[in-house]
Amino acid sequence: MANRELLDEQREETRLIIEELLDDGSDPDALYTIEHHLSSEKFEVLEKAAVEAFKLGYEVTDPEELEVEDGSVLMCCDVISEIALKAELIDAQVEQLMNLAEANGVNYDGWGTYFEGDDDEEGEEGEDEDFVDEDDDGKRH
């Protein structure tokens, strides 16, 4: 079971992130790509946790090496979902993934997402609205 104090810290952080996004004008009704961050010193350990997250229905990125401030190298991946920007939904995912991380001996390093504006703003910023991702099979986890 995830540490209650760490869960409470994550819940507080979730509310701050949501508040800042909405204060900046992010669309409250959009679906958001939520990227939960996992890390481990050992690839094999991270890989096992990533497989478990995938079995739970999340998309999982390929592991990458990250050198941290003290010079050590961690293996990292993102566990991704697409959901509404609702604290209770994100809290449930955070708790689920913190429990998964604890059970597999990896670190849960929080989550992040991106600003979601209306379509007109994206077009004005030079994004290619007609872009088609040929690798996208339309499946979402």
Annotated domain spans of the chain: 4-113
Quote the pLDDT of residue 141. 33
Q: Report in angstroms the alpha-carbon separations of 13 from 6, 94, 121, 130, 135.
A: 10, 11, 27, 35, 34
CB atoms within 10 A of CB 119: 10
Report pLDDT digits (tens) over 46-73. 999 999 999 999 999 999 999 999 999 9
Question: Which residues neighbour 22 within 8 Å (Cβ) at sequence distance 6 or greater?
Answer: 28, 85
- CA angle 15/141/65 to nearest 5° reads 75
Low-confidence ranges of the chain (pLDDT < 50): 120-133, 136-141
| Amino acid identity, position 20 | E
CATH class of 4-113: alpha beta
